[in-house]
Amino acid sequence: MTGIIHYRGHSARIEFDPDDMIFTGRLAGINDVVGFHATDTETLIRAFHDAVDDYVETCARLGKVAEKPFSGRVMFRVQPEVHAKAARAAQLAGKSLNQWAAEALQAAAERSPGLTPASAP
């Protein structure tokens, strides 16, 4: 069982550990590791809020940006057939492969469960 929660522009994926009978979560989209856990949902939400607040306050105290932005550079490999189809689709759309791929990734990210327009990077 998993779920996603949001607070102050941050998101976390929640999982339930049936062996330990606890909910666990970790902030998503940051390079630091910020986790939290609880045995019930009310305490979990409070722990999540506390984790976000503590993270933001600690970063401010250290003079560091609370959430490191992604560079915008993505490198991945696909099968040659996929590459060819994407290149043709981009060309037919009158776009560079980079522009076409960026738009396709943006559209897929917006359809992702748990991401709202406000929480999407």
Q: What is the pLDDT of residues 14-52, one digit of tens each?
A: 999 999 999 999 998 888 899 999 999 999 999 999 999
Measured between alpha carbons, how far is residue 107 from residues 28, 64, 102, 103, 112 in Å?
19, 31, 9, 6, 9
Token pair recorded at residue 79: 């099968």
Q: Rounded to the nearest 10 degrees, what angle do helices 80-92 and 97-111 cross at?
A: 100
Token pair recorded at residue 62: 């250290």
What are the boundaries of each domain within the chain? Answer: 2-62, 70-121
Mean pLDDT for 59-68 is 86
Q: Which pLDDT score is estimated for 114?
A: 67
Mind listing the pLDDT tens digit for each residue in 73-104? Answer: 888 899 999 999 999 999 999 989 999 999 99
pLDDT greater than 90 at residue 1: no
Phi and psi angles of residue 101, each rounded to the nearest 5 degrees, phi first: -65, -40
Q: Which pLDDT score is estimated for 119?
A: 46
pLDDT band with cut points at 50, 70 and 90 for residue 120: very low
